[in-house]
Chain A
Amino acid sequence: MREQIEAAAARYPDQRSAIMPALLIAQKEHGYLPAPVLEEVADILGVERIWVYELATFYTLFHTTPVGRFHLQLCDNVSCMLRGSEDLLRHLEAVLGIEKGGTTPDGLFTLSTVECLGACEMAPVMQVGDDYHGDLDIARLGALLDRLCKAAGQVTSAERVVVGAPGG
């Protein structure tokens, strides 16, 4: 982590500019940004800790609490709303048995709504990790969840509905 952060810092005349890239690097490594990681970032860059804290809590892509292995980020801005993102959200909440903002007890999924992902031509759209999934409907969403569950070696979402969550 230190090496990557120092390489990023070399791009700027001021170390403070490197806090954002450093936090992205640290989050990739640790999954989220607990206080000790923030302090390590501050120490590597030799900047004030408060500068690091204030960025980690300002920008929405930084997580100071753990998120699930798959972070489902469903866009609910206007273009996606007009193409049915609300139905998708209700479906995800029912299938996963959590409300938006929540994480499944097995730590596999965190469900969030996000503001415009800049992919409105394929609305409704959801980002999972690095990937965008567009033109979603209930069937495609189900297939996506199944793929993610299989990738994690868990039961499929269809089984989940039967076993667990109400109203699926």
Chain B
Amino acid sequence: MFEPVLLRNMDVPDGHLLSTYEAGGGYQALAKVLREHPPDGVIDLVKQSNLRGRGGAGFPTGLKWSFVPKRAGKPKYLCCNADEGEPGTFKDRIIMERDPHQLIEGMAISAYAIGAETAYVYIRGEYVLAIRRLEQAITEAQAKGYLGSQILGSDFNFAVHIHCGAGAYICGEETAMLDSLEGKRAQPRLKPPFPAVAGLYASPTVINNVETLACVPHIVMRGPAWFRDIGPDKSPGPKLYCLSGQVRKPGLYELPMGISLRELVEEHAGGPLPGRRIKAVIPGGVSAPLIPERGLDVGMDFDSLSAAGSMLGSAGVIVIDDSTCMVKVATRIIEFFHHESCGKCTPCREGLNWAVKVLRRIEAGEGAPGDREQLEALCKGIFGNTFCALGDGAAMGLRAALAHFEPEFVAHIDGRRCPFH
């Protein structure tokens, strides 16, 4: 039985209150850091832990922090990416609703490490309860001196502000988020320069996901070796998995990184619904290519899933059973990406528009010979030809559906109807 780390306060009554958090040893990691470690020492600790970003890309967190120039001559910023929009993902919402101080402590330690005195939490506007809980937690932390000036008697000053999003998936892309924070339409920037050098207000900026930041206090208290010993060495740590779709026990599960997808779905989440069989699983939100049932014996970590042609992404695990039409799933996924395309890059904006039209007509039984090849050509035109990964995610997802479920597409086109309706 894996002892929960990030979710340890989930079922504690009033787990969101400072008193509960302190009773469980909360803010001792911040105190320890301020007492014992210079900022570089904290970066080293996190580097040694091999913590990798939980937002989707899996970039080594300590390395990201080390890119921030020591002497910038400008204020530095920490941004917390809480714009959890990847379909199938709900882990960050639950952390913020039920244990927001864990995030605030992680932010304070991170800000100290990179030399930032201001942080913005970019949180999606729909998450009303999470916003209220986080606001309350910030107020409590300020009153107790965990935020503010000369924190715990040190010379470290730090303030956290909440910035509410207003419904745009693209804001999860870090440079689009920065533009949104600057009061512009959220559209990704050309990189370089990377945010660590020129991010928010052209100042050095680190952007980390909620779950990533929540890991930091635990690494400080228990040490990098403890963290590295959980799961694969190059992709370690406790991990939150979001289970949803056609599965008996949907929910949030905390288990070691690297657990097999089959064990996660069949044992922890109870397997398929009564009388059904699993057909495919999307392992990391809809940007992650789906994996057919025969491929479920794959480790849920960045490297294993990448080797299997998919990705861990946000660990939004969506289970699809044999009652479901894969053309319809693919259509809904591409409709989503089309809706959320910010419109900046032509291949994504126009390519997804056409892909939706072709997919809808196949699903409606009006597909034409050559439509599958047309979809492949559209994917080729989009992939690698855009500023950000939104178009790439769409193309990868569609390619996987076309490759793994070719007979279903063929049956729709040749039979001129959806065999599932």
Task: Write the residues of chain A forming the contact surface with B, with a CB cutoff of 8 angstroms.
Answer: 11-21, 23-24, 47, 51, 54-55, 58-62, 76-79, 81-83, 114-123, 127, 130-132
Contacts and interface: CB of A to CB of B under 8 A. Distances in A.
B166 A60 contact: yes
Given A77-B332, A82-B245, A82-B324, A23 B84 contact: no
B286 interface: yes
B183 A16 contact: yes
A21 B164 CA distance: 7
B88 A79 contact: yes
Contact of B127 (A16, A18, A118): A118
Given A59-B168, A78-B332, A116-B87, 17 more contacts: A16-B183, A17-B183, A23-B166, A54-B184, A55-B183, A55-B185, A58-B185, A77-B87, A78-B245, A79-B244, A114-B167, A116-B86, A119-B90, A120-B89, A120-B244, A120-B318, A127-B126
B221 interface: no
Nearest to A77: B87
B262 interface: no
Given A59-B168, A78-B329, A79-B244, A117 B183 contact: no
A132 B92 CA distance: 16
What 3 A-B pairs are tightest by C-beta distance, nearest first? A120-B244, A16-B183, A59-B166
Nearest to A81: B332
A26 to B, nearest CB: 12
A82 B286 contact: no
Interface string B227-249: 00000000000000011111000
Nearest to B84: A118
A117 B128 CA distance: 11
A13 B277 CA distance: 55
B387 interface: no
Contacts of B124: 118
Interface stretch (B333-341, B353-361, B409-417): B333-341
16 contacts: A17-B181, A17-B183, A21-B164, A23-B166, A24-B164, A24-B166, A51-B184, A58-B186, A61-B125, A78-B245, A79-B318, A116-B85, A118-B84, A119-B93, A120-B90, A120-B242
A78 B318 contact: yes
Contacts of B184: 16, 51, 54-55
Contacts of A17: 163, 181-183
Interface residues of B, number: 54
A121 B88 contact: no
Nearest to A131: B128
Contact of B286 (A12, A78, A83, A122): A78
A121 B183 contact: no
B167 A61 contact: yes
B332 A20 contact: no
A54 B126 contact: no
A76 B251 CA distance: 18
B185 A54 contact: yes
Nearest to A135: B250
Given A16-B182, A78-B88, A59 B167 contact: yes
B400 to A, nearest CB: 14
B101 to A, nearest CB: 20
Given A78-B88, A78-B329, A14 B201 contact: yes
A120 B282 CA distance: 13
Contacts of A127: 126
Contacts of B319: 82
A158 B184 CA distance: 45
A117 B318 contact: no
Contact of B163 (A20, A61, A114): A20
Interface string B46-71: 00000000000000000000000000
B208 interface: no
A101 to B, nearest CB: 13
Nearest to A57: B185
B212 interface: no
B316 interface: yes
A82 B243 CA distance: 13
B333 A78 contact: yes
Contact of B246 (A58, A82, A121): A82
B245 A79 contact: yes
Given A61-B125, A83-B245, A115 B339 contact: yes
A119 B252 CA distance: 10
A100 to B, nearest CB: 13
Contact of B168 (A16, A60, A82, A120): A60
B87 A78 contact: yes
Nearest to B329: A78
Contact of B250 (A15, A114, A123, A130): A123
B180 interface: yes
Contacts of A60: 166-168
B112 interface: no
A140 to B, nearest CB: 16
A109 to B, nearest CB: 19
